[in-house]
Amino acid sequence: MQVMLQLQSEAARMLRHHSFTSPASAELVRRARKLGVTLRPLRVRSESSPLVSDFTVEVPDRATAERVIEELQDCDAVEAAYFVPSDELP
C-alpha cells in the first residue's frame, strides 16, 4: 500500500536534491524518520512535470497509512496526503 504526498514545490525540489535546509523540508524528513518511513519521489522525465512535487511512502497496511498521513499532513511542506489501496483482491 502506498501513501501519496503532494509537496510544496520548494520542499519537493529540496528533497529531490537531498537538501533539507529549509525548515519545512527538515520537519518533513524528521517526521518521516520518526515514523520509520522513506519518502520516494515519483519518477518524472522533466523538472517541469506537474508530478515533480509528488512523493510516495510504502506502508504495510491501512492503519499505518492513516497514521503516516495524519502525522505528515501537519507539515507545512505537505499540500495533500492520501493512501492508495493495493490492487490485490481481498
CA atoms of 46 and 73, how far apart (whole Å): 26
Q: What is the pLDDT along the chain (90 residues), one digit of tens a residue?
A: 899 999 999 999 889 988 888 899 999 999 999 999 999 998 877 677 778 899 999 999 999 999 999 999 999 999 999 998 766 555
What global pTM score does this model have?
A: 0.86
pLDDT score recorded for residue 84: 82
Nearest to 8 by CA among 85, 88, 78: 78
Going from N- to C-terminal start, the domains of the chain cover: 2-84
Topology of domain 2-84, CATH: Alpha-Beta Plaits (3.30.70)
